[in-house]
Chain A
Amino acid sequence: MIRTERLTKIYRNKAALSDLDLEIRPGELFGFLGPNGAGKSTMVKILTGLVRPTSGRAWVAGFDVIEQPLEARARLGFVPESPRLYESLTADSFLDVMGALYHLDPATSRMRRNDLVELFGLGDVRHQRLREFSKGMRQKVVIAAALIHRPDVLILDEPFDGLDANTALVMKGLLKEMAAQGKSVLFSSHVLEVVERICTRICIIDAGRKVAEGTAEEIRQQFRAGSLDEAFSRLTGIREPSDVAADILAALART
Chain B
Amino acid sequence: MRRIFRAAGIDYQQLRALVRAYVWLDYAALFGAYGPAERQRVAIRLALAWGFMSLLGLGLAGMITVARDPFLAAILLITSTMMWTGLIVIAQPANLAVPDDHDIVGFRPVDSRTLFAVRVTALLMPALETIVMMGWLPVLAFLTRVEGSLTLAMAAAAGMVTASTFGTLGIVAVFGWLIRVIAPEKLTRMLAYAGGMAGLVLSAGVMVGIHHLVDSDGPVPFMTATVPRDWRTMWFPPVWFASYVALVSGSRGSAGLAGSLLSFAALAAVGFALRGRLSADYGHRVTELTSLSRPHAAPDAKTWRLLRNETRAVALLVASHLRYDVRFQLAVASSVAMGLLFGVVMSSSWSLPVDPFDGGTGGATPMAPLFALLFVPTQIYQALVVSAGYEASWLFYCTPANRIAIITAARDAIGALVIAPLTLLLAAVYLFAFGHAMHAVALAASLGLMAYGCFQLNVLLAPRLPFSLPMTGDRTRGIPMFTGIVVMLLGSPMFVLFQLFAYRGPASTIAAVAGLVVLNLGLMSLTQRRLARKLAGQGYSHL
Contacts and interface: CB of A to CB of B under 8 A. Distances in A.
B537 A97 contact: no
Interface string B392-405: 10111111111000
A51 B539 contact: yes
Contacts of B397: 48-50
Interface in B373-410: 387-389, 391-392, 394-402
Range for the number of chain A residues in contact with chain B: 35 or more
A239 interface: no
B400 A74 contact: yes
Contacts of B399: 73-74, 98, 101-102
Nearest to B313: A100
Interface in A46-85: 48-52, 70-71, 73-74, 76, 78, 80, 83-85
Contacts, number: 115
A86 B392 contact: yes
B185 interface: no
Contacts of A45: 540, 543
B175 to A, nearest CB: 22
Given A127-B298, A132-B293, A50 B389 contact: no
Contacts of B293: 128, 132
Contacts of A132: 293
A201 B320 CA distance: 42
A131 B404 CA distance: 28
A90 interface: yes
Contacts of A80: 394
A50 B543 contact: yes
B317 interface: yes
Interface in A83-130: 83-90, 92-93, 96-98, 100-103, 106, 110, 126-129
Contacts of A110: 301
B241 to A, nearest CB: 41
B325 A88 contact: yes
Contacts of B371: none
B316 A93 contact: yes
A106 B301 CA distance: 9
B68 interface: no
A84 B391 contact: yes
Contact of A93 (B320, B398, B537): B320
A90 B540 contact: no
A92 B309 CA distance: 16
Nearest to A132: B293
A88 B316 contact: no
A100 B315 CA distance: 10
B467 interface: yes
Contacts of A85: 389, 392
B324 A100 contact: no
A148 B253 CA distance: 78
A55 B462 CA distance: 30
Interface string A176-215: 0000000000000000000000000000000000000000
Give the residue among B294, B297, B392 with the most A Cβ atoms within 10 A. B392
Contacts of B389: 84-88
Contacts of B310: 100-101
A87 B296 CA distance: 14
Contacts of B275: none
A128 B296 contact: yes
Main secondary structure of the interface of A (DSSP, over half): mixed
Given A87-B389, A127-B298, A101 B540 contact: no
B109 interface: no
B312 interface: yes
Contacts of B467: 86
A92 B313 CA distance: 12
Interface in B266-310: 293-294, 296-299, 301, 304-305, 307-310
Contact of B320 (A70, A74, A89, A126): A89
A128 B293 CA distance: 9
B496 to A, nearest CB: 42
B395 A129 contact: no
Given A84-B391, A98-B395, A90 B320 contact: yes
Residue in B299, B309, B467 with the greatest tally of chain A CB atoms within 10 Å:
B309
A48 B391 CA distance: 15
Contacts of A127: 296-299
A51 B537 contact: no
A86 B317 contact: yes
Given A50-B540, A93-B299, A100-B309, A84 B398 contact: no
A200 B8 CA distance: 64
Nearest to B321: A88
A220 B475 CA distance: 53
Contacts of B304: 106
A52 B541 CA distance: 11
A172 B317 CA distance: 32
Contact of A70 (B328, B394, B402, B540): B402
A87 B389 CA distance: 6
A168 to B, nearest CB: 23
Point out which of A78, A100, A103 has the most chain B C-beta atoms below 10 A from its C-beta.
A100
Give the interface centre of A48, A83, A88, A92 by most chain B CB atoms within 10 Å: A88
B512 to A, nearest CB: 38
Given A78-B398, A86-B387, A52 B309 contact: no
Nearest to A85: B392
Contacts of B307: 100
A51 B394 CA distance: 11
B75 to A, nearest CB: 45
Nearest to A114: B301
A156 to B, nearest CB: 13
Contacts of A73: 398-400
Contacts of B312: 96, 100, 106
A182 to B, nearest CB: 21
A101 B298 contact: no
6 smallest beta-carbon distances between A and B, as pairs: A84-B391, A88-B325, A100-B313, A74-B400, A127-B296, A100-B312
Given A101-B396, A102-B400, 10 more contacts: A52-B537, A74-B399, A86-B320, A86-B467, A87-B325, A87-B392, A100-B307, A100-B312, A100-B316, A128-B296
Interface of B: 293-294, 296-299, 301, 304-305, 307-310, 312-313, 316-317, 319-321, 323-325, 328, 387-389, 391-392, 394-402, 467, 537, 539-540, 543
11 contacts: A50-B543, A73-B398, A76-B398, A86-B321, A87-B392, A88-B324, A88-B325, A89-B317, A100-B313, A127-B297, A129-B324
